[in-house]
Chain A
Amino acid sequence: MDVSLPRRLARQRGAAIGLVILAALALVALAAPWLSPRDPVKTAPRTALQPPGATYWLGSDQLGRDVASRVMYGARISLTVGVIAVSIAVALGAPIGLVSGFYGGRLDAVIMRVIDVLLAFPGILLALAIVSVLTPGLTNVMIAVGLSAVPTYARLVRASVLATRENLYVEAARALGSRDPSILARYILPNVVAPLVVTATLGLGTAILAAAALSFLGLGSQPPQPEWGRMLSEGRDYLREAWWIATFPGLGIMLTVLGMNLLGDGLRDVLDPRL
């Protein structure tokens, strides 16, 4: 990656907006203990269902907890869950794709058949199946969302490796006596990084959405954790009298995913114009 990357990225209006959104969210997530007006899990039944105002900026929920504080701490949870899930997916998927694409042959055939099978479970279904095996909970949601994205990364990396493997400079390196690990690290990997970074950025948004969806279904974070998906499902029952309980966590999820998508699209235009 060359020096002018940040500058080229800044020139992409969408990517710049995405970066600003994400930076603001990351700041809120990091500074939640100092920024949040109240304890996010402390209940106060007497001041339940207060509308947004001077005391409760974004209102209070059915147990009198401060929605603003919960949304801020929720940013922490969602960003962490997204990063960990994508890390799991890349850490497992990239080496699988690398080995499969580089060595080819029977190993590649077997790996690709397994991946075909995993891709037969559409969308969130694979993550659902994994959660059902691991039993519900936030940690297992990260694992399930991460594992269910492994096939995507394995395929992506394999395709990039296949496109690079036949290049003359790889052959030249081999002729000069380079060994496989060194060829992989010095000549193949750099060509895989750009599409991987783009997909992982967009994948962060997808992972955050999937994790929030699982929590919304009651399979992820458990009460009283201030998780956005969970807050939405709690707010669902109070939609008529307290719209704010479900509205602000939803806005949080959408802004985060929007930021990731804007940044990912911008990165793609800069790093990988072919896509």
Chain B
Amino acid sequence: MLTWIARRILAVVPVLFGVTLAVFSMLFLVPGDPVKMMLAEFVTTPDQIAQMRAQLHLDEPILKQYGRFVANAVRGDLGTSIRSRRPVTTEIGENVLNTTQLAVAAMLVAVAIGVPLGLLAALSRHSWLDVASMATALLGVSMPSFWLGLLLIFVFSLHLGWFPATGGGSPLHLVLPSVTLGTIAAAIIARLTRSSMLEVLGQDYVRTARAKGLGGFSVIVRHALKNALIPIITIFGLQFGNLLAGAVIVETVFSRPGLGRLIVGGILAKDFPLVQGTVLFVATVYVMINVLVDVAYAYADPRIRFG
């Protein structure tokens, strides 16, 4: 098992290397001169442009630049934001907690709605309950998160006044954004729980458990649900990544500070070091979470480790 985990972790190294290369290349794929583009909105003298080139080490050979980029990133130095003139890692550090809170709360919402909904549908297959749950799930997948967010603000902030519409800080600020972000993931989890549960319910060991005379509830929870949840673990990693990316939109809807707002603000301000650093950070976290999910998956399902 330990060698399996070690191998899985080692397999990530080339991917992360590729990620740094992709993020590094962003600056060179810009049509035209990236420095002029970044400084377009400032009044600049040739001196300032030269200074910026030197600051970004753009006059060095490209391989040396890449080497420096990777070495710095490994040491936790992601460069300096052009706008704020502060280290990108400081900017990330100030925002990472907000986005984590949002993503975790959204995941809780997603599981709390998605698993029961899928279970309900599977256990009442072909009934109106099944159709209604799956229709709800389909609406959930088709719903643009930025629209759902605005509808929630309209009803629960502007009309009922239960929750604040924008900003961050208190737990109350977290409710509407996490419901917005969690709904889409809930819909996906509901559909998956249903199909996974239906598959497990048809297995021999469930029939055996029933034949042993175990009651319906015990069979469903102890035998079926436990196994049906295994594939849902894998979707967890994938969905967590989607939640991180979805936070970009939801944070903008609710004017909530976080990594997503940081990236969008960076793109609009053409602050390349900030965009590069934050994108690199989010992608790395996403890759790491998927490793953790794989390890958890191997623990939950021994067939993976030994298969």
Q: Which residues of A contact B186 (CB under 8 A)?
A: none
Contacts of A101-153 to chain B: CB distance below 8 A: 113-114, 116-118, 120-125, 128-129, 131-136
Q: B257-271 vs A: 1/0 string, CB under 8 Å?
A: 000000110111000
Which residue in chain B gives the minimum CB-CB distance to A13? B131
B43 on the A face (CB < 8 A): no
Q: Which residues of A contact B138 (CB under 8 A)?
A: 258, 261-262, 265
Distance between Cα atoms of A206 and B23 in the complex (Å): 24
Name 15 interchain pairs, CB-CB below 8 A, sorted by A: A114-B18, A122-B244, A122-B286, A123-B242, A123-B245, A124-B246, A125-B279, A125-B282, A128-B267, A129-B279, A131-B267, A132-B272, A132-B275, A250-B144, A254-B144
| A23-31, A69-77, A87-95, A229-237 - interface stretch | A229-237
A205 on the B face (CB < 8 A): yes
B279 touches A232 (CB 8 A): no
A122-B286, A246-B150 known, 17 other contacts, Cβ within 8 Å: A114-B18, A117-B18, A121-B282, A122-B241, A122-B245, A123-B246, A124-B245, A125-B244, A209-B144, A212-B146, A213-B144, A213-B249, A219-B264, A229-B146, A239-B153, A258-B139, A262-B138
From B141, B248, B253, A236 is in contact (CB under 8 Å) with B253
Distance between Cα atoms of A129 and B264 in the complex (Å): 10
B299 on the A face (CB < 8 A): no
Q: A122-B286, A128-B248, A129-B279 are in contact. Are A232 and B18 (CB under 8 A)?
A: no
Q: A122-B283, A125-B248, A205-B142 are in contact. Are A250 and B158 (CB under 8 A)?
A: no
CB distance from A15 to the nearest CB of B (A): 12
From A120, A134, A217, A232, B147 is in contact (CB under 8 Å) with A232
A253 on the B face (CB < 8 A): yes
B287 touches A235 (CB 8 A): no
A217 touches B286 (CB 8 A): no
Q: Which residues of B contact A114 (CB under 8 A)?
A: 18
CB distance from A211 to the nearest CB of B (A): 11
Q: Which residues of A contact B141 (CB under 8 A)?
A: 257, 261
| Most central of A114, A131, A205, A216 by chain B CB within 10 Å | A216
Distance between Cα atoms of A229 and B144 in the complex (Å): 9
Q: Which residues of B contact A217 (CB under 8 A)?
A: 248-249, 252, 264
Q: A182-197 vs B: 1/0 string, CB under 8 Å?
A: 0000000000000000
Distance between Cα atoms of A217 and B275 in the complex (Å): 15
Q: Which residues of B contact A136 (CB under 8 A)?
A: 267-268
Distance between Cα atoms of A74 and B262 in the complex (Å): 29
B292 on the A face (CB < 8 A): no
Which residue in chain A gives the minimum CB-CB distance to B252? A217
Q: Which residues of B contact A236 (CB under 8 A)?
A: 150, 253
Interface of chain B, main secondary structure: helix
B4 on the A face (CB < 8 A): no
Q: A122-B244, A124-B248, A258-B139 are in contact. Are A219 and B146 (CB under 8 A)?
A: no
CB distance from A263 to the nearest CB of B (A): 12
A240 on the B face (CB < 8 A): yes
Which residue in chain B gives the minimum CB-CB distance to A119? B15
Q: B112-154 vs A: 1/0 string, CB under 8 Å?
A: 0000000000000000000000000011011111110011011
Which residue in chain A gives the minimum CB-CB distance to B272? A132
B29 on the A face (CB < 8 A): yes
Q: Which residues of A contact B46 (CB under 8 A)?
A: none
CB distance from B131 to the nearest CB of A (A): 10
B30 on the A face (CB < 8 A): yes
B19 touches A120 (CB 8 A): yes
B14 on the A face (CB < 8 A): yes
From A122, A131, A253, B144 is in contact (CB under 8 Å) with A253
- List of 8 A-B pairs having minimum Cβ-Cβ separation, nearest first: A122-B241, A123-B245, A250-B147, A117-B18, A258-B142, A257-B142, A132-B267, A123-B242
Distance between Cα atoms of A232 and B153 in the complex (Å): 13
Q: Which residues of B contact A135 (CB under 8 A)?
A: 31, 37
Distance between Cα atoms of A23 and B286 in the complex (Å): 39
Which residue in chain B gives the minimum CB-CB distance to A246? B150
Q: B222-254 vs A: 1/0 string, CB under 8 Å?
A: 000000000000000010011011101100110
